Structure 1
Amino acid sequence: MEAAIVCAALAFAVLVAWFVPRWRLNRVLARPLTDVQLGVIERNVAQYRGMPRELRAQLQRLVKQFLHRKTFVGCAGLEVTEEMRVTIAAQACLLLLNRPTRVYPGLHAVLVYPGAFLVPRRQQDEAGVVTETRQDLLGESWGDGRVVLSWEHVRRAGLPPEGTHNVVLHEFAHQLDSESGSNNGAPFLGSPERYRSWSETLSRDFALLRRDAYWGQRDVLDPYGATNPAEFFAVATESFFEQPHELAGRHPDLYAEFEAYYRVDPRAWLPAPAPVPAHHDVVYGQWR
């Protein structure tokens, strides 16, 4: 009898643990975003303005899930505002459209600094000598369920002097990359055929970017993507969403791989850029 009671109690506890969070999430999803929240998305997510109604509704639903499940923490005295929360959530959720998703299940907290932040680093040379340094960063994706961002650079994404850099897209691309089990530039793709095609295309374009970076030649892809395959994936994700026309023109096979993976075509949301005069010197900044 006692065993039956214990089993029933455990079953009830499991049911409550499953049902209550789901009930709370459904309540959140049933409520529309406020006019203030929608205004933030309209203002700070350029891609949203050109989306069809169905994709806008998808993004709004994803934003509500993100805001409900993730904790935002202000650092270095920063007070996190609703504009910060909604802007970060909306930009991060651009990467999840048209795909089944649990909205970054491994992510628990977003740490937001007012501006660039210092991170300690340990470097060991070939002789085994360890050097302690501090690196100035705009964002970082950690494997313990945290993403760190500079609000100054989140807010200025897509605006001069950042241009097409987007720290949120960059760091959340790393989050997607890690869902396959490691950060190696190959997120979960679903089939061996997709991995073969992905590897061939990205390896080739990664090698081309490394060559261009070595010789100081400019490309639509930021030279920081030449650091390693994981950074190449993150940098290419930025270009896919921020410069889709330029990426498709310069790297058509790479664009096709990202279009298949992300299941959207951002060229439909953003106007094609005006032709650049031959004498105009375009300068692409380096991601730090």
Structure 2
Amino acid sequence: MLAVAGLLLILALVIFHQVFWPGLRLQAIQKRVFPRAWESLLLRALPIYAGLSREQQEQLKNLIKQFIADKNFVGCAGQQIDDVIRVTIAANACLLLLNRNTGCYPLLRSVLVYPSTFVVAHEHQDEGGLVSTHEQVLVGESWGDGKIVLAWDDVQHGVTDFSDGHNVVLHEFAHALDHEDGASNGAPLLRTRGAYKNWARVFAAEFTELQARAQGGAGSLLDQYGATNPAEFFAVATETFFEKPRELQAQHAELYAELVSYYQVDPVGWLAAHRAT
């Protein structure tokens, strides 16, 4: 009898921890006051913040609190972690989650921060089965094992100029969204099954065009690193969407519309509101 009671108690604790505790913990985090010291950091970390609606600003603050509470920030190569780093990275990452009924990067556990560029060794297996290793110097990378790696100096550059179309946080966290369906292929989880057909049509055409421009030496609004593969195209398109929305809307209207539908925000309106303040 005692053994049965013990098993039932263990089962009840497991159910509580897995079913009820996450929601209760989230409620507790959202009830916390957004620290005053973080307010000024947020304004510097996200220049477009003033253009968000009041509701979006509150959403973003709650997401930032949750992100910082949930994710483990790890300094690498001597990099010290402080609130400037936490708020800057969280603010830019959580911009991608506004107005969307989604978790706060549920697969992500750790953010590794280097002072500057870092070297990563990648293995490649050719058609004959021969495995070779090559090193890459990177400013950011999203790993499929719950980690994102960032170079802090490049993060700062993205914050300083939020209109050049380059933002390593937006780029790597777009990859994190792409990973959530188990495949990194440039097609994140969409709201309906039918949405994938139009997404595939628009993104395939835009990706092919960018590849042609890159191969032909022609200029393009989208960074031509996006021609590497569909996953990189989605990440580059995300950077451009948030940092150069007017230009993207004017030059790639269908792509812009797909990203508005996915991200559930219209950054062109943020720019107008920001300039009016």
**Using the alignment, how far apart are the partners of 2:25 and 2:190 within structure 1?**
31
**Using the alignment, how far apart are the partners of 2:185 and 2:25 within structure 1?**
36
Q: Partner letter of residue 183 of structure 1?
A: S
CA gap 1:119/1:172 in 2 versus in 1, 3 angstroms: same
> Bigger CA drift: 168-177 or 5-14?
5-14
Q: TM-score, normalised by structure 1?
A: 0.88
SS in 1 for 2:158: coil
> Bigger CA drift: 11-20 or 99-108?
11-20
Gaps of 5+ in 2: none
CA drift of 1:92 comes to: 0.4
SS in 1 for 2:123: strand
1:5-55: CA deviation from partner (whole Å, max 9, x where unpaired)? 124312442255245554443322111211211111111112212111110
Residue equivalent to 1:5: 5
1:184-242: CA deviation from partner (whole Å, max 9, x where unpaired)? 00111132320000000000000000011111212111000000000000000000111
**Using the alignment, how far apart are the partners of 1:70 and 1:161 within structure 2?**
24
Residue equivalent to 1:247: 248
**Using the alignment, how far apart are the partners of 2:39 and 2:269 within structure 1?**
21
**Using the alignment, how far apart are the partners of 1:154 and 1:53 within structure 2?**
26
Residue equivalent to 1:188: 189
**Using the alignment, how far apart are the partners of 1:147 and 1:53 within structure 2?**
30
Residue equivalent to 2:119: 118
Q: Partner letter of residue 238 of structure 1?
A: E
List 4+ stretches of structure 1 deviating above 6 A.
none
**Using the alignment, how far apart are the partners of 1:77 and 1:175 within structure 2?**
25
CA drift of 1:180 comes to: 1.6
Residue equivalent to 2:85: 84
Residue 141 of structure 2 contacts residue 148 of structure 2 at CA under 8 Å; is this kept in 1? yes
- Residue 171 (structure 1) aligned with residue 172 (structure 2): yes
CA gap 1:252/1:211 in 2 versus in 1, 3 angstroms: same
- Residue 270 (structure 1) aligned with residue 271 (structure 2): yes
**Using the alignment, how far apart are the partners of 2:39 and 2:159 within structure 1?**
19
Residue 67 of structure 1 contacts residue 85 of structure 1 at CA under 8 Å; is this kept in 2? yes
Residue 45 of structure 2 contacts residue 159 of structure 2 at CA under 8 Å; is this kept in 1? no
Residue equivalent to 1:147: 148
SS in 2 for 1:225: helix
Residue equivalent to 2:62: 61
CA gap 1:70/1:195 in 2 versus in 1, 3 angstroms: same
Residue 158 of structure 1 contacts residue 165 of structure 1 at CA under 8 Å; is this kept in 2? no
Gaps of 5+ in 1: 273-288
Residue 46 of structure 2 contacts residue 159 of structure 2 at CA under 8 Å; is this kept in 1? no
**Using the alignment, how far apart are the partners of 1:202 and 1:138 within structure 2?**
25
Residue 91 of structure 1 contacts residue 169 of structure 1 at CA under 8 Å; is this kept in 2? yes
Q: How many residues align?
A: 272
**Using the alignment, how far apart are the partners of 2:5 and 2:160 within structure 1?**
63
**Using the alignment, how far apart are the partners of 1:143 and 1:132 within structure 2?**
19
Q: Partner letter of residue 214 of structure 1?
A: Q
CA gap 1:27/1:146 in 2 versus in 1, 3 angstroms: same
SS in 2 for 1:182: coil
Q: TM-score, normalised by structure 2?
A: 0.92
Residue 164 of structure 2 contacts residue 244 of structure 2 at CA under 8 Å; is this kept in 1? no
What's the C-alpha RMSD, in Å, of the aligned pairs?
A: 2.0
**Using the alignment, how far apart are the partners of 1:50 and 1:64 within structure 2?**
20
**Using the alignment, how far apart are the partners of 2:124 and 2:9 within structure 1?**
53
**Using the alignment, how far apart are the partners of 1:5 and 1:46 within structure 2?**
57
Structure with a larger share of its residues in helix: 2
Q: What is the percentage of aligned positions where both structures have the same residue?
A: 48
Q: Partner letter of residue 198 of structure 1?
A: W
**Using the alignment, how far apart are the partners of 1:266 and 1:192 within structure 2?**
25
CA gap 1:133/1:64 in 2 versus in 1, 3 angstroms: same
SS in 1 for 2:165: coil
Residue equivalent to 1:14: 14
**Using the alignment, how far apart are the partners of 1:233 and 1:162 within structure 2?**
18
Q: Which one scores higher on RCO, CA 8 angstroms, separation ≥ 6?
A: 2
**Using the alignment, how far apart are the partners of 1:7 and 1:249 within structure 2?**
63
